[in-house]
Amino acid sequence: MASKNLFVLFLIFALFATNVAGQECPENTEVVDFPCPRTCDDPYGENTCITGIQGRCHCKGALVFNSDNVCVPIFEC
């Protein structure tokens, strides 16, 4: 019984890992295990946290999401 439970747990973990690793992000973004995206209104990602969401697309480097969810330099906001 314990080995069956362990197998099910492993299967769930493997499916989750595959989903996060296989996630495709738009241009200038990457998958990051941080729930707070940086935006024009919140460039430090302090107020835009989405609790419980990990492994989501975030803008690369110093880019932030604009109102159209496109990564832009902060000076273009």
Q: What is the CATH number of the domain that holds 12?
A: 2.10.25
> What pLDDT does 55 receive?
76
> What pLDDT does 24 receive?
83
pLDDT in tens, 8-67: 334 333 334 444 455 688 899 998 887 788 999 999 888 877 666 667 899 999 999 999
Structural domain harbouring 64: 2-76
Tracing tokens 């906001």 back to the chain, one arrives at 77
C-alpha 54, offset from chain centre:
5
Number of domains in the chain: 1
- The whole-angstrom separation of Cα 74 and Cα 65 is 9
Query: Which is it for the CA torsion 68, 21, 43, 64, positive or negative?
Result: negative
